[in-house]
Amino acid sequence: MTVTRTPVVVFISGSGSNLHALLEDSRKPDCPFRVCAVVADVAAPGLAHAEAHGIPHHVVRLADFPDREAWNRELARVATSYAPTYLVLAGFMRLLGAPVLEAFPDKIINTHPALLPSFPGPHGVRDALAYGVKVSGVSVIMVDAGVDTGRIIAQEAVTVADDDTVETLHERIKERERPLLVSVLRSLCEQGVPAAP
Ligand code: GAR
């Protein structure tokens, strides 16, 4: 059976373990998506995963543009050139603006290492730990113009241990995050965006 694979572009800023999970899944015969390009805002270590899989990759640095609007226009131009159905923010640590959001309406998903709407922003794990929560987790959301305010598609809880550090908790969250992100993307490609509640 031939599977028609939905093209996706993945945005990263860091080590790219979520990207790696997506790339490994995309090698399976039944996988409904293919990663057609990876875009980073810095020379992210995770770009090595794209390199290893022979996937085109780009670094589009904010500092190389006169303002965020121009940077967003370039991000949109690069992403659009691959004609993806979905953008996946897999540890992309900057807020996207109108040029990208308008190019992919309701087609951008983000993964976040906390149970939104609690602890949005770039330090979700640190902030949850500092607050003293006993349960945290991971959220996969649709991206809107706010900071982690988009519609929640899926979540999984992770118990916080008394001796957890930011690193140990984040690592346990990521163990749940990678399969969740893969599963959400598979569902989106197979069934489309779930209806709003
Ligand atoms: C992931 O845990 C992701 O949820 C987080 O960055 C990590 C990237 O890990 N994103 C955010 O905090 C966004 N607010 P990775 O580079 O190993 O995939």
- Residue-wise pLDDT for 94-136, tens only, equals 999 999 999 999 999 999 999 999 999 999 999 999 999 999 9
Whether 91 lines ligand 1, by a CB cut-off of 6 Å, is yes
Atom 4 in ligand 1: which residue has the minimum CA distance? 112
Which bin fits 62, alpha (ψ -120 to 50), beta or left (φ > 0)?
alpha
39, 60 Cβ separation under 8 angstroms: yes
Whether 137 lines ligand 1, by a CB cut-off of 6 Å, is no
Q: Which atom in ligand 1 lies closest to the alpha carbon of residue 148? A: 14
Whether 32 lines ligand 1, by a CB cut-off of 6 Å, is no
Ordered by where they begin, the domains of the chain are 1-105 (3.40.50.170), 111-190 (3.40.50.170)
Task: Give the type of residue at 80.
Answer: T
186, 32 Cβ separation under 8 angstroms: yes
> Ligand 1 centre from 197 Cα, in Å?
27
Q: Identify the band that residue 197 occupies on the pLDDT scale cut at 50, 70 and 90.
A: low
Task: Give the type of residue at 156.
Answer: E
Q: What is the pTM of this model?
A: 0.96
- Residue-wise pLDDT for 26-68, tens only, equals 999 999 999 999 999 999 999 999 999 999 999 999 999 999 9
Closest of 121, 109, 130 to residue 185, by C-alpha: 109
47, 122 Cβ separation under 8 angstroms: no
Closest of 91, 87, 56, 50 to residue 72, by C-alpha: 87
> Ligand 1 centre from 1 Cα, in Å?
34
Residue 84 in this model has a pLDDT that exceeds 70: yes
Is 112 one of the annotated active-site residues of the chain? yes
Residue in 41, 111, 149 to alter for ligand 1 test, most ligand atoms within 8 A of Cβ: 111
Spatial strand order of the sheet with 86-89 comes to 57-59, 33-40, 6-12, 86-89, 108-112, 135-142, 152-159
Q: Which atom in ligand 1 lies closest to the alpha carbon of residue 174? A: 2
Q: What is the mean pLDDT of residues 12-23?
A: 98
40, 57 Cβ separation under 8 angstroms: yes
- 88 in helix, strand or coil? strand
Whether 179 lines ligand 1, by a CB cut-off of 6 Å, is no
The CA–CA distances, whole Å, from 70 to 6, 57, 66, 112, 188 equal: 28, 20, 7, 26, 30
pLDDT of 2 = 62
16, 46 Cβ separation under 8 angstroms: yes
Whether 15 lines ligand 1, by a CB cut-off of 6 Å, is yes
Beta bridge partners of 111: 140
Closest of 67, 53, 59, 99 to residue 80, by C-alpha: 99
Locate 167 and state its tokens: 């690193």
